[in-house]
């Protein structure tokens, strides 16, 4: 382990105040011995940098998928006091509300026919990859609706069913959204991209439930052994990217104005109650809503394909849940024995609210929130449940995915898209992408093993395993 | 080539070198397009670009962000930039070709240009910059 970092438990590590100058609270991260070899010094420095930000409470945290990002580390979680804290795009990222949802079907592995055709039809129905454009022709007013109302807007427009709403974190809409803080440039980028998957690590996957760890929770989530599910991973597209860029610039000026000293310019921030902080929060919330609407529209296209191919009614395909990975939100948490309102930043981390928490639908009140952890292209994804321990330890948060261990430069040198495609094919996993280059970039070998990452969060108790899903066919953006 | 890919686990890091500041900006634009589209061509399309910022690093960030916006919103795959850099402004022209799915779809999307570790230094006669792109 790195010099200066202290072990405080079998899976817990502390970065003490003083690791970098100006830390206000210690840093804490969660990692097994098996994963410790993947820890980068840069990621720990970033974790410590976050601890220098005004109004941070308790700890600067990182989940076991911690890796070197920009601003916050990926896997970073930090809560800021409503009265004295700040908000920063460095704690959210460019892809605001990049997130994931999973949809169940009545199909089973045995009854799934025409897998290749299903993959092709899904690929045609969901615009994918660089430069992909939506078949939706949004008016400015409709975009406004998307920004203000998120998944609710999509459902009102006919993209889904009313019951989908409660199956989204925050009911698919941050009410604090302020579309007026979203620039004309961001709108211009967002207009033709609604309902598109994007590229990079975004994907749409046909999966099968291969293992059930907690039958009661699985039943509550509506998943059963052998069942076919569809997982969708994407975010707020060019609109969210532009919002981050625009407000980063404004917040750089605000950082100087409010005399905040920071070790990294990407951590540019402003007090939560300042005009600049409020503007970013409002624009970020509007982008988060765009992302929820986006995933809702994509899921509707998926349901249409399944209906057309197999005659399955939309009502038979249930959204299990939709979670955000990159977002900042006001939540109530207990800090030093007192309940307080904090702004929780999750950058490559998932909310994991325990049983009885607010914002959960009735059917998940006793199980806790469904947590969806996507694997990499050829590896398992997992369904977990949020826990009371997460509420105590991590502001109700857990990991978000496997976490990369190999750079794209190295991946490109050591793997070709063709090799990856053939290797997955030998395991029965089909893959469809706009181009082979996108496949090599995201090969299973470039990620930490997802099963070890979820084992750590399960052992810690910050979320508990419910089911494992294996990929059968993948669409890569 | 005056730009090279550097090791970075999650994203794409580039080191760019040039003898003059104007060239550093042009090369940075080419480096970004290299990540996105390999080696794009030009079919004579040209458009002006102008950005302002309070310091050199912010200027570079604003310049690359503007090109990203132009590429995404206007569908212009930029192959070259001819610019003049002053203390707080950069202006000039971009050249390139229109985005065509059959040619450019295999590219890689850049989500944003990070300010983390973005620095421009001068060593003797060379300007050197390291920049991290979120992909």
Share of chain A above pLDDT 70, in %: 100
Please, what is the Cα angle at A360 between A317 and A451, to 5 degrees? 70
Q: Is B6 in Cβ contact with A409 (below 8 Å)?
A: yes
Question: Does the residue B3 lie in any domain?
Answer: no
The pLDDT of residue A130 is 87
For range A224-229, the mean pLDDT: 98
Instruction: Please tell me which of the candidates A67, A198, A199 has its beta carbon nearest to residue B10.
Output: A67
- Distance between CA atoms of residues A379 and A374, nearest Å: 9
Nearest to A240 by CA among A297, A194, A272, A173: A194
* Neighboring chain B residues of A94 at a CB cutoff of 8 Å: 111-112, 134
Instruction: Please tell me which of the candidates A68, A199, A245 has its beta carbon nearest to residue B109.
Output: A199
Q: Is A264 in Cβ contact with B134 (below 8 Å)?
A: no
Q: Is B62 in Cβ contact with A131 (below 8 Å)?
A: no
Task: Enumerate residues 6+ apart whose C-beta is below 8 A from A92.
Answer: A244, A284, A326, A327, A328, A345, A347
Task: Enumerate residues 6+ apart whose C-beta is below 8 A from B4.
Answer: B14, B15
- pLDDT at residue B53 greater than cutoff 90: yes
The pLDDT of residue A290 is 98
For helices B56-74 and B21-37, angle between their N-to-C axes, nearest 10 degrees: 40
Which residue ranges form the domains of chain A, and what is each CATH number? 6-405+447-476 (3.90.1860.10)
By residue range, what is the domain housing residue B71? Answer: 21-117
The pLDDT of residue A413 is 78
The pLDDT of residue A37 is 87
Alpha-carbon dihedral angle through residues A116, A121, A125, A131, given to the nearest 10 degrees: 50
Interface TM-score (ipTM) > 0.85: yes
Q: Are strands A60-70 and A27-30 parallel, antiparallel or unpaired?
A: parallel
- Number of structural domains (chain B) is 1
For helices A275-310 and A140-149, angle between their N-to-C axes, nearest 10 degrees: 100
- pLDDT at residue A197 greater than cutoff 70: yes
Instruction: Please tell me which of the candidates A241, A404, A436 has its beta carbon nearest to residue B9.
Output: A404
List the CATH number of the domain containing B94: 3.55.10.10
- pLDDT at residue B123 greater than cutoff 70: yes
Give Cα B53 to chain centroid, integer Å.
16
User: A223 or B5: whose pLDDT is higher?
Assistant: A223
Question: Does the residue B122 lie in any domain?
Answer: no
Contact A416, A440 (CB under 8 A): yes
Chain B interface disruption, residue of A192, A408, A414, most B CBs within 10 A: A408
The pLDDT of residue A446 is 81
* Neighboring chain B residues of A407 at a CB cutoff of 8 Å: 7-9
Question: Does the residue B126 lie in any domain?
Answer: no
pLDDT tens-digit map of A280-314? 999 999 999 999 999 999 999 999 999 999 999 99
Under the banding of pLDDT at 50, 70 and 90, the label for residue B1 is: low
The per-residue DSSP string of A47-96 comes to: HHHHTTSTTB-S-EEEEEEEEEEESEEEEEEEEEETTT-EE-GGGT-SST
Under the banding of pLDDT at 50, 70 and 90, the label for residue A471 is: very high
Q: Is B111 in Cβ contact with A95 (below 8 Å)?
A: yes
The pLDDT of residue A434 is 86
The pLDDT of residue A377 is 81
Compute the mean pLDDT over every residue in chain B, rounded to the nearest whole number: 93
E strands present in A336-436: 338-347, 350-351, 370-373, 381-385, 397-398, 430-432
pLDDT tens-digit map of A100-149? 999 999 999 999 999 999 999 999 999 998 888 888 889 999 999 999 99
Min CA distance, B22 vs chain A (Å)? 22
For range A415-429, the mean pLDDT: 90
Question: Does the residue B6 lie in any domain?
Answer: no
Question: Does the residue B13 lie in any domain?
Answer: no
Share of chain B above pLDDT 90, in %: 79
For range A20-26, the mean pLDDT: 98
Active-site positions of A?
Answer: 400
pLDDT tens-digit map of B56-103? 999 999 999 999 999 999 999 999 999 999 989 999 999 999 999 888
Question: Does the residue B101 lie in any domain?
Answer: yes
Task: Enumerate residues 6+ apart whose C-beta is below 8 A from A362.
Answer: none
Q: Is B7 in Cβ contact with A200 (below 8 Å)?
A: no
Q: How many CB atoms lie within 10 A of CB A8?
A: 11
Under the banding of pLDDT at 50, 70 and 90, the label for residue A218 is: very high
pLDDT tens-digit map of A452-469? 999 999 999 999 999 999
Compute the mean pLDDT over every residue in chain A, rounded to the nearest whole number: 95
- pLDDT at residue A57 greater than cutoff 90: yes
- Distance between CA atoms of residues A441 and A426, nearest Å: 19
Min CA distance, A204 vs chain B (Å)? 17
Question: Does the residue B129 lie in any domain?
Answer: no
The pLDDT of residue A443 is 79
Question: Does the residue B91 lie in any domain?
Answer: yes
Chain B residues with at least one Cβ partner in A under 8 Å:
5-12, 36, 53-54, 57-58, 61-62, 65, 68-69, 72-73, 75, 99, 101, 104-109, 111-118, 132, 134-135
- pLDDT at residue B106 greater than cutoff 80: no
Contact B108, A260 (CB under 8 A): no
């Amino acid at each position: 382990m790195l010099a200066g970092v202290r072990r405080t438990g079998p899976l817990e590590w502390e970065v003490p105040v003083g690791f970098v100058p100006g830390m206000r609270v210690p840093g804490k991260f969660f990692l097994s011995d098996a994963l410790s070899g993947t820890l980068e010094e840069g990621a720990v420095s970033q974790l410590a940098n976050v601890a220098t930000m005004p109004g941070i409470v308790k700890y600067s945290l990182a989940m076991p998928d911690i890796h070197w990002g920009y601003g916050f580390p990926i896997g970073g979680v930090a809560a800021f006091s409503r009265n004295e804290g700040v908000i920063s795009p460095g704690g959210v990222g460019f892809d605001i509300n990049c997130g994931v949802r999973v949809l169940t079907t009545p199909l089973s592995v045995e009854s799934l026919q025409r897998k290749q055709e299903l993959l092709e039809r899904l690929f045609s129905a969901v615009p994918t990859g660089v430069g992909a454009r939506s078949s939706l022709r949004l008016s400015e007013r409709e975009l406004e609706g998307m920004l203000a109302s998120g998944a609710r807007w999509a459902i009102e427009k006919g993209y889904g069913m009313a019951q989908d709403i409660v199956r989204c974190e925050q009911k698919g809409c941050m009410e604090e959204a302020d579309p007026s803080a979203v620039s004309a440039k961001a709108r211009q980028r967002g207009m033709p991209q609604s309902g598109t998957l994007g590229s990079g690590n975004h994907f749409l996957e046909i999966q099968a439930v291969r293992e059930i760890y907690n039958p009661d929770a699985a039943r509550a989530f509506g998943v059963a052994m052998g069942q076919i599910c569809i997982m969708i991973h994407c975010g707020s597209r060019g609109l969210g990217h532009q919002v981050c860029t625009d407000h980063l610039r404004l917040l750089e000026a605000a950082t100087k104005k409010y005399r905040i000293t920071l070790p990294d310019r990407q951590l540019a921030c402003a007090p939560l109650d300042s005009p600049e902080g409020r503007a970013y929060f409002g624009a970020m919330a509007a982008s988060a809503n765009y992302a929820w609407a986006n995933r809702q529209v994509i899921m509707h296209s998926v349901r249409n394909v399944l209906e057309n191919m197999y005659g399955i009614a939309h009502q038979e395909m249930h959204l299990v849940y939709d979670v955000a990975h990159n977002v900042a939100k006001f939540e109530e948490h207990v800090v030093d024995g007192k309940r307080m309102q904090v702004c929780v930043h999750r950058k490559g981390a998932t909310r994991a609210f325990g049983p009885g928490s607010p914002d959960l639908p009735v059917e998940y009140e006793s199980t806790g929130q469904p947590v969806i952890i996507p694997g990499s292209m050829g590896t398992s994804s997992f369904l977990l449940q949020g826990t009371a321990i997460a509420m105590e330890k991590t502001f109700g948060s857990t990991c978000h995915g496997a976490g990369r261990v190999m750079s794209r430069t190295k991946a490109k040198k050591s793997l070709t898209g063709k090799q990856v495609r053939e290797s997955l094919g030998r395991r029965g996993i089909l893959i469809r992408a706009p181009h082979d280059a996108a496949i090599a970039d995201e090969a299973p070998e470039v990620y930490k093993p997802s099963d070890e990452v979820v084992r750590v969060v399960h052992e810690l108790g910050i979320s508990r395993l419910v089911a494992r899903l294996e990929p059968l066919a993948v669409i890569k953006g | 080539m005056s730009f090279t890919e550097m090791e970075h686990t999650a994203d794409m890091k580039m080191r760019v070198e040039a003898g003059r500041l104007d060239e550093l900006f042009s090369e940075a634009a080419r480096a970004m397009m290299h990540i996105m589209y390999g080696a794009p061509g030009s079919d004579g399309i040209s458009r002006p670009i102008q950005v302002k910022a309070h310091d050199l690093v912010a200027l570079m960030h604003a310049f690359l962000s503007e090109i990203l916006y132009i590429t995404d919103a206007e569908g212009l795959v930029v192959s070259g930039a001819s610019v003049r850099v002053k203390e707080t402004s950069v202006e000039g022209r971009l050249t390139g070709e229109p985005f065509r799915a059959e040619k450019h779809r295999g590219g890689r999307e850049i989500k944003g240009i990070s300010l983390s570790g973005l620095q421009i230094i001068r060593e003797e006669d060379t300007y050197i910059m390291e920049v991290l792109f979120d992909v």
